[in-house]
Structure 1
Amino acid sequence: MNADAALSAPPVSSTERLIDALFDQASISRAGPLVTGTGTLDGQAIAILATAERAQIGADLALAMARNVLDVMREAPGRPILIVVDNSGHRLGRWDELMGNNGYLAHLSTCLYLARRRGHRVIGLVNELAVSAGFMALGMATDACYAMPEAEVRVMALNAMSRVTKVPLDRLTELCATSPVLGPGVANFIRVGALRGIWSGDLSAHLREALAEMPGERDTRRELGLERGGRTLARDIAAQVRAGV
């Protein structure tokens, strides 16, 4: 590598370091905030789709990620996909709004759903930050999503929630102490069943265990939320809706 290339190369992100820690070997490439490639664990190839540096998910990035998922389905049918989530949510800008960024995010989620239906085990891992649509379109679109111990997860910050709902911030903070549905943070998302668990220590062992789990025919997050006391009504209400009660 010449001096000019070395100076222009971005510093290694925490996402890339995490990928190195997860796999026996990993071959990845980075284009801006998008990190893609293939990792090997115990001889098994796993597709890697990740974002770095708390990226904002714009229409262009969402489309590139969806393209990667489609490529994996075409070129490596059935290969597991690991999604390393590190984003600041959907990008807010005139261009993205004019392009219909919500449609691109929906397309990305649909591609991940199709991959799961075609037998790809899709696992999410929140590295540093997962916010709003960036979490729902990636972490929530997986068979199972986990988080690193220091990760931060939220759909909406409490101060923003206060502005939208007109509920005083102090009152929202008080409600979050007893209702994990309202509160940001990994602990609350685990209680409601959105996150399966926390990965610490031997990361390869955690990945190995997640890969070994057989995906169910249906979403079990409502059951997890009930077992953990975070969502006590969601399972039964959903069952009543499906039954037409």
Structure 2
Amino acid sequence: MMLAEILASLFPEGHSVTIADGLISGEGAFRGGRLAVIGIDGDTALGVDGACRLAGDVLDVVRRGGRTPILVAIDSDSQRMSRRDELLGLNEYLAHLAKTLLLADAHGHPTVGLIYGHSAAGAFIATALATRVLVGLPGANPSVMDLPSVARVTKLPLDRLEAMAKDTPVFAPGLDNMVRTGAVQAVLDPDLPLADQIAAVIDAMPEDDHRDRLGRERGGRPVAEEVAAQVVRDAALG
């Protein structure tokens, strides 16, 4: 599903969403109010400039007040691994973007990630995974790290990793694996109005992050919930 189709399904009454240099920004009428949209389109890599622009868009929504929901639509490459971006401290810019989404959430703005294309690594973590809830569309291809990169880091043969990925979704790429680990809450139906489906996601939004529980229930991360709980208990003991 292309971005233009997504926007038409989200905003049948029209919208002001624009795309410039692969970055999405704007809003449209939604449930008697507005829905703000930011994101990345066209498999664009996310660098320091893009992260700053998207973070600024999120902060603008927060400054206006209210409880305007924010949709983060993603079809990106990974982070831009250029010499310039790395020397400027790309990791800090990506962290800043993620923090603005957490800030918006803390101020009462429902944040929903929508992965409709590719995304990977830091760009995926700082955008779609930084929202309260992440949903996907059929055909999306997210990954935290592709298997050839995992092979280089772990020094394990690629064919062995490909075999392991069939039974171990926690590091395997692809939408189905992200659903099994709980990272993606649900896959939307492109044949139904996306406005209604996103509204339903917002209405059912949990009060806290329950992705580790979903991962346990779906068999993709069987021990993450208990490990996280143990860390919290140990931290509370000082």
Mapped contact 1:86–1:129 kept (Cα < 8 A) = yes
Mapped contact 1:193–1:230 kept (Cα < 8 A) = yes
Within the candidate set 35, 49, 58, 1:46 is matched to 35
- 5+ residue gaps, structure 1, are 1-12
Larger mean Cα displacement after TM superposition, 94-103 or 25-34 = 25-34
Within the candidate set 186, 197, 201, 2:186 is matched to 197
- 1:19 matched residue in structure 2: 7
Larger mean Cα displacement after TM superposition, 131-140 or 21-30 = 21-30
The alignment partner of 1:85 has SS state of strand
Give the aligned CA root-mean-square deviation in angstroms: 1.4
Larger mean Cα displacement after TM superposition, 73-82 or 135-144 = 73-82
Within the candidate set 125, 150, 165, 1:136 is matched to 125
Mapped contact 1:125–1:146 kept (Cα < 8 A) = yes
Mapped contact 1:82–1:123 kept (Cα < 8 A) = yes
1:210 paired with 2:201, answer yes
Q: Letter of the aligned partner of 2:200 in structure 1? A: E
Q: Letter of the aligned partner of 1:228 in structure 2? A: R
Mapped contact 2:118–2:142 kept (Cα < 8 A) = yes
Within the candidate set 231, 235, 239, 2:225 is matched to 235
- 2:216 matched residue in structure 1: 226
Q: CA offset at residue 34 of structure 1?
A: 1.3
For each residue in 1:123-159, what CA deviation from the matched residue of structure 2 results, as whole angstroms up to 9, or x when unmatched? 0000111111111101111110011100101111111
- 1:156 matched residue in structure 2: 145
The alignment partner of 1:86 has SS state of strand
For each residue in 1:53-102, what CA deviation from the matched residue of structure 2 results, as whole angstroms up to 9, or x when unmatched? 11100000000000000001112432100110111010010110111011
Normalised to the residue count of structure 2, the TM-score between the two structures is 0.93
> In structure 2, how many angstroms separate the alpha carbons of the residues matched to 1:55 and 1:104?
16
> In structure 2, how many angstroms separate the alpha carbons of the residues matched to 1:214 and 1:145?
10
For each residue in 1:90-116, what CA deviation from the matched residue of structure 2 results, as whole angstroms up to 9, or x when unmatched? 001011011101100000000000000
Larger radius of gyration: 1
Mapped contact 2:120–2:143 kept (Cα < 8 A) = yes
Mapped contact 1:175–1:182 kept (Cα < 8 A) = no
Q: CA offset at residue 214 of structure 1?
A: 3.7
Q: CA offset at residue 40 of structure 1?
A: 1.6
- Residue correspondence of structure 1 range 74-85 to structure 2 within 5 A: 74-85=63-74
> In structure 1, how many angstroms separate the alpha carbons of the residues matched to 2:228 and 2:31?
39
- Residue correspondence of structure 1 range 64-213 to structure 2 within 5 A: 64-200=53-189, 201-202=191-192, 203-213=194-204
> In structure 2, how many angstroms separate the alpha carbons of the residues matched to 1:61 and 1:105?
9
Q: Percent identity?
A: 36
Aligned residues: 232
> In structure 2, how many angstroms separate the alpha carbons of the residues matched to 1:103 and 1:172?
31
> In structure 2, how many angstroms separate the alpha carbons of the residues matched to 1:233 and 1:84?
30
Q: Letter of the aligned partner of 1:223 in structure 2? A: R
